[in-house]
Amino acid sequence: MSRSRKRPTRRPNPSRPRRRRTTRRLPAGWDRLVAVGKRSRVGRWLGHQLRRLLTPFSFGVLGCLFLAGWALWSGGVLDGPIAREVRTSSVYVAPGVELDEAAAERIIGNRRLVVVMLAPDADLRAGCQEVTRAAAGTVVLLLKPDGDGYDHYGCALVPGYDGENFGRAFVTELRISRGIDAFPGQPLEAVKMVVLNYDLLVKAGTIPDGARTVSPSLPRYLVAGAAVLAVCVGSTVAYAAARQAGRRTARYLARREALADLRAQLAASISVLAAQLIELDRYYPKPDTVNGRRYRKLAAEYLTLLDTFATTIDPDEVTVTRLIRRAETLSARCRMLADARDRSQTAKTR
């Protein structure tokens, strides 16, 4: 059995002072500076994030959302069924109640009068509170069948009904339903009686005269204007973009046609140069003369030109023009060799 060797422990040297571990403390006031630095870093981070979020596009989106919410709220998105109906109509008839709504609307006309016919178990006071904002500026009469007559609740929403015109509104609510109990089971006749009471109140000056006007809320006008503006700006931008794209396409097609013409010209120049070299090959088979060496040099340059033309992928106008000039230069040199050949043959015949 092997014995495990224990690691010898170091004994403290009594002659050597022992070091004590102490926590490093900051000078007085530095802890506050560190805290401020941390807060400043957090503040810088938050400021950076806010700068990223608060862009013109973000402001535009927030403005559109605010405008849409305002339009929905002013348009009655939170209204009940009675308020939604009387916002644009003078008569509301609850389901299950017998009343010709179209005939009642013709009887009322454009007066500032709203008649609400509810079910026998409905709460008239709650109905008045529901139509307070939707039928503002009108006289609302809530009715429901009650035995041999009608249970009614007047709600005069004329301007200042809760202030300086409180007395007139109170009188209107009392007198607007006078005489309707004489027509049980005849709701249209009761509506006619209500209209007569309304006209008497107008004639007496208790309520202001005038026709009821139903106009969309301001946010709807803004939304409609924004929609029209968006259509106009969008169509203008689309037209300008299409026009610019058409111009670019026309320029691109023109460049392509010009490049195609240049390529055809280059191919023709190379073909002519090849024919000239083939014609000269019969007269300069050996490079032992000056013209023979010139011909060999022309042939090598032709091969270099042909290799450049074959290996160039999608050359541009500048490259093709340079190759055409090179081919024309070589062709001119071929013509010079042909002229030298003709002169030599003429001298031999003489």
* SS3 readout for 308-338: HHHHCCCCCHHHHHHHHHHHHHHHHHHHHHH
What is the structure's pLDDT at 247? 92
Residue at token pair 């002013």: 74
Q: How far is Cα 178 from Cα 200, in angstroms, rounded to an integer? A: 11
pLDDT at 2: 45
Q: Are residue 270 and residue 174 in the same domain, yes or no?
A: no
Same domain, 176 and 282: no
How many helices (H) and strands (E) in the chain?
10, 4
Determine, yes or no, domain membership for 34: no
Regarding whether 253 and 198 lie in a shared domain, the answer is no
Do 105 and 189 fall into the same domain?
yes
Task: Report pLDDT for 320.
Answer: 87
> Are both 199 and 254 inside the same structural domain?
no
Q: What are the mean pLDDT values of the chain's consecutive 10-residue runs (350 residues total)?
A: 49 54 52 55 68 74 76 68 84 87 90 89 86 85 86 85 81 88 87 91 87 69 75 87 91 88 87 86 72 84 85 81 89 86 74
Query: Would 311 be classed as within a structural domain?
Result: yes
Determine the Cα–Cα distance for residues 306 and 308; give it in Å rounded to an integer. Answer: 5
Residue 7 lies in a domain: no
CA 190 to chain centre: 54
Q: Which range of residues forms the domain containing residue 312? A: 248-349
Same domain, 89 and 190: yes
**Residue at 231 is within a domain:** no
Same domain, 196 and 96: yes
In a domain, 226, yes or no: no
Task: Give me the CATH number covering residue 114.
Answer: 3.10.310
Classify 55 in phi/psi space as left (phi over 0), alpha (psi -120 to 50) or beta. beta
Q: What radius of gyration, in Å, describes the C-alpha atoms of the chain?
A: 50
Q: Do 220 and 75 contact (CB within 8 A), yes or no?
A: yes
Looking at residue 330, its amino acid is L
Output the pLDDT for position 263.
Answer: 87
Q: Is residue 148 part of a domain?
A: yes
Do 184 and 88 have their domain in common?
Answer: yes
Domain count, the chain: 2
| 196 and 254 housed in the same domain | no
Question: Are both 98 and 172 inside the same structural domain?
Answer: yes
DSSP state, residue 214: -
Terminal-to-terminal C-alpha distance of the chain: 125
Predicted confidence at residue 337, as pLDDT, reads: 84
Based on the fold, state whether residues 161 and 88 are members of the same structural domain: yes
Q: Cα separation of 349 and 147, whole Å? A: 143
Q: Is residue 130 part of a domain?
A: yes
Helix (H, G, I), strand (E, B) or coil at 19: coil
In a domain? residue 139: yes
Q: Which of 171, 203, 235 is at the close of a domain?
A: 203
Which of 168, 203, 238 terminates a domain? The answer is 203
Answer yes or no: do 87 and 194 share one domain.
yes
CA-nearest of 155, 152, 121, 134 to 80 is: 134
Nearest Cα residue to 100 out of 84, 213, 108, 178 = 108
pLDDT of amino acid 51: 72
